[in-house]
Amino acid sequence: MARQSVSPQITASILEFVKTNEMRAGEHLPCQMLADAFRVSRAPVNAALKKLETMGVVRAEPNRGYFLTMDAAKVETETPAGEPQREEEDPLYFRIAEDRLAGKLEERVSENELMRLYDVARSRLLKSLHRIAEEGWIERLPGNGWAFRETLTSRRSYEEGYVFRAVIEQQAMLLPTFRPNEEEFRKARAVQTALGEGGYETWSRAEIFKANNEFHEMLVACSQNDFFLDAIKRINRLRRLIEYHITIDRSRLPRQTSEHLHILDLVEAGRRTEAAAFLYTHIMGASRIKTPRV
């Protein structure tokens, strides 16, 4: 199998470096400095800088190198060209997740501690920490400190979380205020179809978790009740780590996506009570076939 290019990852790392250091338009981005920071050769850095030039983020000057064309505040840090962030592109993220779930990391940690522990540069570490912060299981403290937030860390709490989700999601669908969102249903159908028709074999754990989270949160959002939606978002944040930690049986995912599509079909057919009952059974069934290793 051909090795996947690291240039997209380096491109994203440069963007994160610019944001982290609050760089301004006109500042120099020395190739060797970036190569040293990311612990790679100059070649992938040069390729990434050329990509950023085509995106209008940097400009090349003969015999001088590359310079920013905009302030950091205007730089987008998403993966370029809409490419999904595959889990294999960020092993540090999953090392932190595994270590936190295993109790190897204290509730409060400093950037210097983590840099020593994982033997990475600050810019590389911050890329992972910012992703974790966006997902809601760590928050930044004043200075260079970070604090992990509460998560589900035991088999019992994991199972209780599924019971909670099953009850809340079923009742949300039965509320008089429930109104299907046609556009969101269309998007969800497209994602679930793609996942079931091959995505389950190639998508990362994070991408699968995100797709299924968004499906269930979309259904609850149709209840028009912010309290129900906030409750589901909170439990999904709490269970993220343990979901990454469990043994994934990808062969079950086509059935899961088929059940998701069936729920959409029932709601669109006006059979909401039947859909709510099926949704409850679907969630409880998922809890029984997943296997936490904690």
What's the rounded Cα separation, in Å, for the pair 64 and 44?
Answer: 18
Instruction: Please name which of 146, 114, 154, 170 lies closest in space to residue 245, comparing C-alpha atoms.
Output: 154
The 10s digit of each residue's pLDDT in 255-289 is: 999 999 999 999 999 999 999 999 999 999 887 65
Return the CATH architecture of domain 89-146. Answer: Orthogonal Bundle (1.10)
Instruction: Please name which of 244, 54, 93, 223 lies closest in space to residue 158, comparing C-alpha atoms.
Output: 244
User: Can you say whether the dihedral through the CA atoms of 253, 254, 256, 257 is positive or negative?
Assistant: positive
CB 264 within 8 A of CB 193: no
The 10s digit of each residue's pLDDT in 96-126 is: 988 887 788 998 999 999 999 999 988 889 9
Beta bridge partners of 291: 247
Where along the chain do its domains lie? Answer: 4-72, 89-146, 154-288
Q: Are 4-72 and 89-146 in the same CATH fold?
A: yes
Return the CATH architecture of domain 4-72. Answer: Orthogonal Bundle (1.10)
Whether pLDDT at 248 is above 70: no
CB 72 within 8 A of CB 19: yes
Predicted confidence at residue 207, as pLDDT, reads: 83
Average pLDDT for residues 150-156, to the nearest whole number? 68
CB 52 within 8 A of CB 81: no
- In this prediction, residue 294 has a pLDDT band, given cuts at 50, 70 and 90, of very low
What's the rounded Cα separation, in Å, for the pair 277 and 206?
Answer: 28
Report residue 88: phi and psi, to 5°.
-70, -15
154-288 CATH: 1.20.120.530
Give me the percent of the chain exceeding a pLDDT of 90.
Answer: 39
Q: Which residue type sits at 48? A: A
Q: 3-state class of 247 per DSSP?
A: strand
Question: What does the H/E/C string look like for 268-288?
Answer: HCCCHHHHHHHHHHHHHHHHH
Among 33-37, 111-115, 192-196, 220-224, which is the least confidently predicted range? 33-37
Instruction: Please name which of 202, 292, 219 lies closest in space to residue 253, comparing C-alpha atoms.
Output: 202
What's the rounded Cα separation, in Å, for the pair 284 and 281?
Answer: 5
DSSP string for residues in 206-223: HHHHHHHHHHHHHHHHTT
